[in-house]
Every structure is written in C-alpha cells, then in structure tokens.
Amino acid sequence: MVKTSLQDPSPPGSFNALFEQTRDLVLLARYPGGEIISANPSALTAFGKNLLTARPVLESLPVPEQRGAFKKVLKEVGEEGQTAHFSGRLRRTDSSSFHSEMDIRKVAPDIWLATIHDISERVRALEDIELRNIAIANVTSGVTVADARLPDQPLIYVNKGFQEITGYSAREAVGRNCRFLQGRDRDQPDLDKLREALRVGRACIVQLRNYRKDGSQFINELHISPVHNEEGELTHFVGIQLNVTEQVEARKSLERSEARYRQALEQEKELNEIKTRFISMVSHEFRTPMTGIMASAALLKKFGDRLEADKKDRHLANIATSLKRMNRLLDDVLFFSRAESGKLQVERRPVALAEYLPALMESLSLVYPDREVTLDLRLEPPASFMLDEHLLDHILQNLIGNAIKYSPPGSVVTCQLREDTEWLILDVSDEGIGIPLKDQDKLFEAFHRADNVGQQHGTGLGLNIVRRAVELLEGDIRFTSREGSGSTFTVRLPKIPSNNDKQ
C-alpha cells in the first residue's frame, strides 16, 4: 500500500485493516491531478486487477457521458474534511460499467479518498419494481393488494382496472376493507366462503354482488391468493376482480332458451346435457384465470428482488393470453345469447374487403403468432360491398381459428375470397384432422364437438355462430371434409356493391 499523510486519529494499523477488509470500494488519489495511487481489494475486484497498472485518474472512471458532471463534483472538494457526492455509472478496465454512488473527501493536503458503493443490484431491483407496477397497473381486470398483518386487512394498492370497474379512485379505496363494495348487501352465500379463506389464509374464488360508486350493481368474480414472506408469514392477499355481469346475464339467457327448447321439443335429456356442458365450459374457461393471479402474486412476493427477463416475459404473456382467451369466449357467448333471444340485427355498411381482410389477418397473427394464413383475394377493384363487419368478423375469426387450431404446425391454411355475378364466395381450407362422418350432420349444432378433437380447448359454439351470422347476411355455408385429410368451408354471401361502386 502507498503511504499517505492521512491525518487519522486511529493508529495506522487500524486504518490499514479497515482499508483492506471493507466491502466498500476505496480508492486513494493525488490532489489535484487525481492520479489513483492505491485501491483496496474490493475496488480491484470491481474495476479489474490491472486498475493501478493502467495508471488512471479519477476523472476517467465515469462513463464518458457523465464525466462532465463528475468534474463539477471534484471541484466541490477544495478543503480538507469536505465531502462531495457523485451518483452514476463507472467503467471497469474491461469497458463494462456498473451503477454506483461515490463519496469523495480530501483527507490530506495532497490526497483524495473516494468511497464507492456498487448499487447495481438496487437499480435492477428498482427496474423490476417499475416493471411490476407497469404490468399490474395496465391489466384491465381489477388488481388489489390487502395487508394481512393490519387490523381488518385494509387495501394498500388498487390498479387502474379496479378504479374503472368500481368508479372509486385509489385515494377513496386504499385504507378500507374491500367489503365496502358490498354496501348493505351482506346476505350472499359466497361471503362465508370468502371470510373463511381470509381467516385461514388460503386461495379462493367467489362471485359477489358488488356496487359501483354510482350505486349500480355488477357481479364481481373475485380471485383471492395469499402471499407469504420468506419466513412463511402471511403478509398480503392479492385479489383479481373480474366484472362477469354480462357472462351471468348470458348464462341466464341460455337457461331461458333451454326452457323454450324443453317446452317445444320435449327433449329434456338432451337439454340437460347441453346445460352440463355449458356449465363445464364456463367453469373451465371463465373461472380459472389463475395464471394472472399467480403472476401478480409472484411479482409481489419477489418485491425488491431481481427477476430474470425470461420470467418477466412469461408472467406478462400469461396475463395477456388469459385476458385474450376470456375476451374471445365472452364475445362468442354474448353473440350466441343475443342470437338466441332474437336481439341480433344486421347493420350493413360499405366494407372495403381488400383492406378489411389483411387487417383481420394481422389481428389473428397476434392470437396465433406461430402460424401463417395464405390470403388469396380474387376481387375486382374497388371491391367495396354492403356487409355487416361485426358478423363478418365472427365468420372469419371462427373459421380461420378452427382451421389453425385443428391442423398441425407448419401445415397450410388458406383463405380465398372470390366473386361471381351474384355472390361473394369465401373458402377456408386446412390440412388438419378433418371431421368424422358421424359428426358432420351435427356440426353446426351449439356445443357439439367432433370426437377427434382430443384435448384441444373449445366451446362448441364457433360453427353455430358462423351459421347464424351467415344466415343473418342471407347467405349459405357448406363444407367438405375427410377425417385425417383436412376440411374446406365455403361461405356464399349476396354481392351487394356499395353506393360508391354503383356510381
């Protein structure tokens, strides 16, 4: 070690021991030139063993874009005992850098003492926290965090989705127990289930009648998940709120439809099977978005710790996939419900198919990123026709989605649109599993699924919805298929040019 004129009240041996053993990075430099004359082992480990042989100066340590600020800091250290502070990135001898906080003090007439803290882990932790906050804040479902260690387990965080669902701001909700959303409506069967889960600290899923700030009611499907610290102590509850009012209404509408079927067709056994399958579908598709809960719980549990990039991506992808799946299913169920109740109406508007179809394919690529669909447009320009774009969405999304879902990766899926004098003709073809002959007569019935679909998820509503949409547009649908050899669905829609095309 280089001896200095340090005016330290401790004996030299004590200072040397502290210099050598401290975990902080410590440098000694000449004043005023800044030549580094000594470095403790921690500093050599951080900057590189050849730090001293390179004979650097203090001003060379920061990354180039921060050296100007560092020079200003050095100018603040003029008298002995004065200390200046610098926060920024420092370069190692291998040109890599790390985040740091540095205190510089003049400890002798010709000596600067620089004490450096490597804060890279702290910066990464803050970045992880920021990512967590962005992810949770932007989930459209309501996300809440309650402190299980405080009396009455008050909310300590609500995201934007919660505020949009309930109408309460974060300031109005934080600090209160979430029961305030129930108002005076406390006679609900699932409340006992919820109270018991909170008492013993376990996960649960309940449906509750909740009330917005304006007094309107909504059905809240609440998913609760406990969070424990490293000692196993229950510290928080993470809650996910899903507004399932429309789903419940759709289910009631379907139940009313069942009653009509039962009265008109006297097929009670078949209708009971439909009911059982629908309830099973809703339970599977709607009531198990636990991926989102576990992702949120994991992020909270890892608060302040480093989270690897691939794990962050996986958590965010799971949330996004769960929400996309629920939104798609909800759209199909609501369409089916409205069709059953006769509330669907056709609203024809000009649709430029040469623009509409590529845009639709782009949106489908977000749902099926690993698959490609060959689009074959054989239309005479300007190809603008009077169509209901909402109904057209249901036709194309279900037909193309089925073609992708029931065909192997890498196989060809083709969407061709052509015209003749009277019709727009759409063909969707795949090289997939095909449709068994015994299932073909029932293929367009609600909830019917072919025997060869295996474990592939689905509701059995897609082709029924396609048929209803085609009929509303006064068209027809047919198909050809052989089991194991793929399928082709052909839709014909009346060719009605838009007013612009007629002129």
pLDDT bin (cut points 50, 70, 90) of residue 9 is very low
Round to whole Å and give the CA distance between 307 and 66.
28
- 399-446 pLDDT, tens digit per residue, is 998 999 899 998 999 999 999 999 999 999 999 999 999 989 988 887
pLDDT bin (cut points 50, 70, 90) of residue 11 is very low
Among 44-58, 100-114, 480-494, the range scoring the smallest mean pLDDT is: 44-58
pLDDT bin (cut points 50, 70, 90) of residue 486 is very high
- DSSP letters along 431-498, please? -S----GGGGGGTTSTT---GGGTT----S-HHHHHHHHHHHTT-EEEEEE-TTS-EEEEEEEE--B-
Question: pLDDT value at position 21?
Answer: 78
The partner residues of 30 in beta bridges, in order of sequence, read 111
pLDDT bin (cut points 50, 70, 90) of residue 285 is low
Whether 267 shows a pLDDT value over 80: the answer reads no
- Per-residue b or e along 436-464, where b marks 16 or more CB atoms closer than 10 Å to that residue's CB: eeebbeebbebbbbbeebeeeebbbbbbb
**Are the C-beta atoms of 373 and 396 separated by less than 8 Å?**
no
- 437-479 pLDDT, tens digit per residue, is 998 998 888 777 888 887 776 667 889 889 999 999 999 999 9
CA distances from 46 to 105, 119, 120, 173, 450 (A): 20, 12, 12, 47, 64
Strands (E), 249-352: 349-352
Structurally, at CATH architecture level, domain 12-118 sits in 2-Layer Sandwich (3.30)
pTM over 0.85: no
Tokens of 261: 């079927």
Tokens of 134: 């962005």
Question: pLDDT value at position 309?
Answer: 55
User: Which part of the chain is CATH 3.30.565.10?
Assistant: 349-502
- 245-263 pLDDT, tens digit per residue, is 988 888 888 888 888 877 7
Tokens of 166: 């309930």
pLDDT bin (cut points 50, 70, 90) of residue 124 is confident
- Average pLDDT for residues 280-292, to the nearest whole number? 52
Whether 110 shows a pLDDT value over 90: the answer reads no
User: Which part of the chain is CATH 3.30.450.20?
Assistant: 12-118, 124-340
- 309-361 pLDDT, tens digit per residue, is 565 565 555 556 555 566 666 666 677 667 666 777 889 999 999 899 998 88
pLDDT bin (cut points 50, 70, 90) of residue 303 is very low
Select from 3.40.50.720, 3.40.930.10, 3.30.70.420, 3.30.450.20 the CATH code of 124-340: 3.30.450.20
- Average pLDDT for residues 129-157, to the nearest whole number? 80
Gyration radius of the chain over CA positions: 33
Percent of the chain with pLDDT over 70: 77
Residue 326: count other Cβ atoms within 10 Å of its Cβ. 18
| CATH number, domain 349-502 | 3.30.565.10
Whether 382 shows a pLDDT value over 80: the answer reads no
Mean pLDDT of the chain: 81
Whether 503 shows a pLDDT value over 50: the answer reads no
Strands (E), 163-233: 204-211, 217-228
- Average pLDDT for residues 219-236, to the nearest whole number? 91
Residue 256: count other Cβ atoms within 10 Å of its Cβ. 13
- Average pLDDT for residues 140-149, to the nearest whole number? 88
pLDDT bin (cut points 50, 70, 90) of residue 181 is very high
